[in-house]
């Protein structure tokens, strides 16, 4: 058995929580082992500097409340550890009194609930997945029923045009369903992409030969400025899907609220910068406000109403992340958007061999 202060000191050190003792000026005057391992050996610094990387006291501070009323207070906080990662905690504070009963410090005990919050987020995403899938499949089934109905009318009346129209509707909706399932499987699976040589210019040329048909149908100009010497390594099907999603979303942005008195355009640019291949897709379509931009890469968030599953940009974000890159967006309502992707260049910076069309087609834009 441990005795006296030594026993309690050891208990203080081994408690599996973050424990800090703070004076009335919010300096941390004591911290247990786990606190120092996570937030650094910064005894003497202000708690808000250590926990939140702030330069001034937090507006809602449970420690301050404990100093004011001498009671225990509880709150949920998001802290920043010594490596810049977020740590979700439940904080409990209690007064530390001297022999006269005066409050001389406050003890802050924080329970790490980061994994629990992550699990809650996954469960919430699963709920959105089920709801979004059911809604999207319902829309696709309506399209399939419509195509079958028109096709059957054509067979009844021996009208080849109705048969062709109905079959096209069936093909289109089967393609949407196939693309949605491929996107769902891709988002659900954790894996590392293959490291195959890819010419971004070849992928872009293949796609700009496909998407102009849809763009031209709606009088949207599609222009490209491609550096043919940009070589990367990765999974060809994924890179094809990435560019396809970005171009498809740009077209949808131009179609959203399209007016006859405005000329719509999309520009695809490929260039190198600081050892990275940069992909820019710019449109002058509807644009997005700050709230929409913040949710773009969230599961089943779509700006297209019943026409989108909300998976397209999530897929794009996952592709970029798995290939060691980054994706960002600049946008203003009514002024259009610019999506910028940065991917590491291959060491030889070569264009690589020509890229064949991915087996099984591309994922549906959403």
CA angle, 190 then 343 then 207, to 5°: 90
Query: Which fold is adopted by the domain 196-344?
Result: Heat Shock Protein 90 (3.30.565)
Distance in angstroms (rounded) separating the CA atoms of residues 358 and 356: 6
Whole-structure pTM value: 0.53
For residues 33, 38, 43, 48, the Cα torsion angle rounded to the nearest 10 degrees is: -140
> What's the start-to-end Cα distance of the chain, in Å?
64
CATH match of 4-112 with 1.20.58.100: no
Count the neighbouring beta carbons within 10 Å of the beta carbon of residue 36: 17
Taking the C-alpha atoms of 245, 247, 249 and 250 in order, what is their torsion angle to the nearest 10 degrees?
A: 160
Q: What is the pLDDT along the chain (366 residues), one digit of tens a residue?
A: 334 467 778 888 888 999 999 999 999 999 999 999 999 988 999 999 999 999 999 888 999 999 999 999 999 999 999 988 999 999 999 999 999 999 999 999 999 999 998 888 777 766 766 776 777 788 889 989 999 999 999 999 999 999 999 999 999 889 878 877 777 777 666 667 788 999 998 888 888 776 667 777 778 888 888 887 888 999 898 898 888 888 888 888 888 766 777 788 899 999 999 889 999 999 988 888 877 777 676 654 444 433 344 567 888 888 898 899 999 999 888 888 999 999 999 876 544 444 444 443 444 443
């Amino acid at each position: 058995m441990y005795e006296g202060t030594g026993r309690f000191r050891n208990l203080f050190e081994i408690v599996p929580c973050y424990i800090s003792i703070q004076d009335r000026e919010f300096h941390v005057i004591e911290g247990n082992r786990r606190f120092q391992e996570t937030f650094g050996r910064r005894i003497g610094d202000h708690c808000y500097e250590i926990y939140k990387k702030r330069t001034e006291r937090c507006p809602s501070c449970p420690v301050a409340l404990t100093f004011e009323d001498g009671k225990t207070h509880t709150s949920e906080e998001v802290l920043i550890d010594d490596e810049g990662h977020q740590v979700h905690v439940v904080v409990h504070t209690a007064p530390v009194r001297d022999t006269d009963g005066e409050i001389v410090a406050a003890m802050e005990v924080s329970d790490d609930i980061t994994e629990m919050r992550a699990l809650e987020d996954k469960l919430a995403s699963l709920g959105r997945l089920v709801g979004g899938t059911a809604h999207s499949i319902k829309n696709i089934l309506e399209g399939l029923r419509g195509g079958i109905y028109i096709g059957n009318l054509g067979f009844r009346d021996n009208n080849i045009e109705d048969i062709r129209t109905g079959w096209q509707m069936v093909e289109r909706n089967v393609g949407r369903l196939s693309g949605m399932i491929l996107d769902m499987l891709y988002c659900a699976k954790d894996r590392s992409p293959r490291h195959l040589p890819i010419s971004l210019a070849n992928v872009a040329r293949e796609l700009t030969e496909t998407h102009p048909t849809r763009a031209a149908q709606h009088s949207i100009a599609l222009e490209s400025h491609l550096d043919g010497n940009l070589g990367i390594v990765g999974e060809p099907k994924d890179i094809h899907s990435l560019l396809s999603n970005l171009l498809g979303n740009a077209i949808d942005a131009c179609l959203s609220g399209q007016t006859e008195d405005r000329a719509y355009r999309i520009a695809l640019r490929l260039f190198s910068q600081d050892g990275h291949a940069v992909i820019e897709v710019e449109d002058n379509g509807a644009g997005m406000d700050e709230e929409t931009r913040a949710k773009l890469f969230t599961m089943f968030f779509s700006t297209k109403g019943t026409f989108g599953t909300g998976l397209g940009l999530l897929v794009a974000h996952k592709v970029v992340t798995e290939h060691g890159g980054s994706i960002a967006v600049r946008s203003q309502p009514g002024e259009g958007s610019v999506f910028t992707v940065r991917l590491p260049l291959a060491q030889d910076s070569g264009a690589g061999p020509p890229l064949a069309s991915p087996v099984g087609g591309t994922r549906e834009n959403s």
